C-alpha cells in the first residue's frame, strides 16, 4: 500500500496531481488525514476527504509514503508522531519515501537525507541535514524521492509512477496526459 499524508495547510497540487497519476496506473494508494478529521483543508482553501485517519494506519510495511508540502501542512506533518513513525517504518522495511516542496525538511531534520541527493523549495535547504542539495527539480536517490515544489508536481508524480511501475509505464502515462 502507498500512503499519502494530508495535513491541514497541505499544498493541493503537490498532493492531488501525484495522487491522480498513481490512481491512473492502478497503484494501491490511500490518503491519510493527519489531525482530527477526514476533511482536510489545503493551503488554498480546497477541502478534500481523506480515505482514512492517521490513527487507522498500521505498522504493515508500506510500498511508499508521500509527504506533500505547503504551509502549515509541512509543520503539521512534522508534528505528527504517526507520520514520524511511518517514516521510520518505511526506512526499516526499505520502502520508498517521497516528499515535495517544504516537506523534505521533515525528512532532513531526522537525518533521512544524510548522504543523499535531494531538493526542496528554496529557503528550506538548511533543514536537509547532510544532504547533497541538487539543482534538479525532481531527484530520486535510491528509495528517496524529493521535488522542488508545486510547479513540478506532474514530474514528481511521474517519478513516483516510474519508481513503482517502471520507466516505460511512466512514459506511457506522460504521453496519455499530454505532458510532453
Contact between 1 and 30 under an 8 Å Cβ cutoff? The reply is yes
Q: What would the mean pLDDT of 48-61 be, rounded to a whole number?
A: 92
pLDDT at 80: 97
- Give per-residue pLDDT as tens, 122-162: 999 999 999 999 999 999 999 999 999 999 999 999 999 99
Query: Quick one: cell of 50?
Result: 481523506
Distance CA 80, CA 35 (A): 8
Residue 93, CA distances (Å) to 52, 60, 67, 98, 157 in order: 22, 9, 18, 15, 22
pTM: 0.97
The whole-chain average pLDDT of the chain stands at 97
Distance CA 43, CA 158 (A): 23
DSSP 61: P
- Give per-residue pLDDT as tens, 25-37: 999 999 999 999 9
Decide if pLDDT at 168 tops 90.
Answer: yes
Contact between 139 and 146 under an 8 Å Cβ cutoff? The reply is yes
Helix, strand, coil in percent for the chain, rounding step 5:
40, 25, 40
Distance CA 143, CA 72 (A): 26
Catalytic (active-site) positions: 101
Distance CA 170, CA 89 (A): 27
Amino acid at each position: 500500500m502507498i500512503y499519502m499524508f494530508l495535513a491541514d495547510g497541505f499544498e493541493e497540487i503537490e498532493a492531488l496531481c501525484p495522487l491522480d497519476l498513481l490512481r491512473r496506473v492502478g497503484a494501491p494508494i490511500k490518503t491519510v488525514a493527519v489531525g482530527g478529521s477526514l476533511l482536510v483543508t489545503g493551503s488554498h482553501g480546497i477541502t478534500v476527504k481523506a480515505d482514512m485517519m492517521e490513527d487507522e494506519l498500521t505498522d504493515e510495511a508500506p510500498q511508499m509514503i508521500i509527504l506533500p508540502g505547503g504551509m502549515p501542512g509541512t509543520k503539521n506533518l512534522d508534528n505528527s508522531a504517526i507520520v514520524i513513525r511511518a517514516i521510520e517504518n518505511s526506512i526499516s522495511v526499505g520502502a520508498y519515501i517521497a516528499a515535495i516542496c517544504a516537506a523534505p525538511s521533515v525528512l532532513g531534520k531526522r537525518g533521512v537525507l544524510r548522504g543523499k541527493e535531494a531538493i526542496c523549495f528554496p529557503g528550506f535547504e538548511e533543514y536537509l541535514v547532510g544532504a547533497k542539495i541538487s539543482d534538479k527539480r525532481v531527484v530520486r536517490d535510491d528509495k528517496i524521492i524529493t521535488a522542488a515544489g508545486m510547479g513540478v508536481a506532474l514530474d514528481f508524480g511521474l517519478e513516483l509512477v516510474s519508481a513503482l511501475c517502471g520507466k516505460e509505464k511512466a512514459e506511457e502515462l506522460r504521453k496519455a496526459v499530454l505532458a510532453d
